[in-house]
Amino acid sequence: MTSNHPLALQSQLAGLAALESDVRLALHALHATYPSASRPQRHDELFEVTTARMLAEISEDLLVALDDHRSHVAYRLQKLQQPDQTTWPF
């Protein structure tokens, strides 16, 4: 069950930002360790490079999914924010 409390949603957004940072760091490490994984696949490449390419693709997909999920959580948080009660209502 998901929470509709603003602090819980803010905590979820912070957790998603931390997860995104970790995935970006892992993706950077993959590209730094296996630069050939960024190039088009060759028929004679090492299986290690192939799996590194697969991990990079999965990481990129995860970043897209995280961004999509974050936008939904942010929208729920925005909907819960109380309107400004200090303005004249008429």
Query: How far from chain centre, in Å, is Cα 82?
Result: 27
Please give the structure tokens belonging to residue 40: 């088009």
Q: Report residue 86's pLDDT band, with 50, 70 and 90 as the boundaries.
A: low
Mean of pLDDT values over 21-26: 96
Q: 57-81: per-residue pLDDT in tens?
A: 999 999 999 999 999 988 888 888 7
Residues 27-63: tens digit of each pLDDT: 999 999 999 988 888 888 899 999 999 999 999 999 9
Q: Give CA separation, 3 vs 9, 13, 80, in Å.
A: 7, 13, 11
